[in-house]
Structure 1
Amino acid sequence: MDREALEQLLQVNDQEVKMSEKQQKIVMAAIEMFSEKGFASTSTSEIAKKAGVAEGTIFRHYKTKKDLLLSIVMPTIINTAAPKFAKSFAKEVFDHQYESYEDFVREILSNRFAFVKKYFPVVKIYFQEVFYHEEMRNLFKTIFNDHVYEKFKQIIEYFKEKGELADLPAESIIRMTITSIVGLIITRFLISEDMDEEQEKERTIQFIMNGVRKR
């Protein structure tokens, strides 16, 4: 992830987070190292070396490596970036009219793939660590509920009223749609990078539609 992407990641309400140059170097180094080696296998000395700072500079503010993850990297990803990009995602995807639910699913898939490609190291850290840190899971739930859930539900109810979708609870259709898309993203970027991406996108879309389309 380049410097420009990091600067975008550190924007909140169009105002840059006030970080010193050393703090930015530490954040960038931590993101790169945690993404490459994983949290457990990365030492603070490695982060300091990559950032070009003394290890004591990190410990001046953060007592442990987990403090670094939760106090620097995760706020960067969750508190800072996630609300901003959740709002952007909602505006880019949900604030439009679609001819069909399939068109809507295609837009979600395209949007999220582009996001993951741009911010892959950060997204990779999240997937690696979310199962081990309850704070991360709770923050994600809050952000999803605050910025995405109601708009997602409204679109589903709209296409149910049009007779396109099966008479299933909106929550179930959201779950089936999201788990299929996230599953493809995890497989593509973390497990099988050499897959035929476009072909698998199309198969995933048809899999979703076969499950939620009204018969």
Structure 2
Amino acid sequence: MIAVISGDVIKSQHIPKHDYDAMLYQLDQSLRAITEGKHNQGIIYRGDAFQLQVNQPAQVCNVALLLYLHLKASGYEVRQSLAIGEIDNARADIKTATGSAFTLSGRGLDEMHSQRFIFNSIIEPTNEGLALNLAFIDVLLTKMTQKQANALYVYLTCENNQHSEVAKQLQTSRENVTKLLNLGHYQLVERFLQYAEKTIADTLSGAI
């Protein structure tokens, strides 16, 4: 069992030609930041579309949210279709890999409308609970500013995420970091990530 994330940059067709390469560069950098050292794979295909293979499926919401924050901090909005399923043919190039995880993820992206996240799984009852919580997180993240997204990304990825340490990385005051994190509802986001990881892990262990 693995997780797959399929996504693309929202309204990329409206990005001016002279800025399009910068968007692709940032997408590549964000994918590298999220996958580096974590045994996950990511590719960009069809211009602004991308796909990630997450080999620890319980981490799929964490990976998707960090990727969203990393890109939003640079001014780009993305939508992502998360799916958990099987992999039939593991390949070094995930473009040629097959299995229900890839099928569900790709199909979910095709069916997305205004959401930033959608979740599907071949294992029940994961879907309903995560879908509802993702909808709430979707609302929070959509309203988030670039500075709030950047502060939250650093907070979630910093080994020592004390506000004073986050402030050093962002080269700002601790008070400003606390303000940005509170406006980004960071405690709710953390609780969601803990819930998502436990829910998926428990469901997977019960399915074995």
TM-score where L is the length of structure 1:
0.33
The TM-score normalised by the length of structure 2 is: 0.34
The structure with more strand, counted as a fraction of residues: 2
- Greater radius of gyration (CA): 1
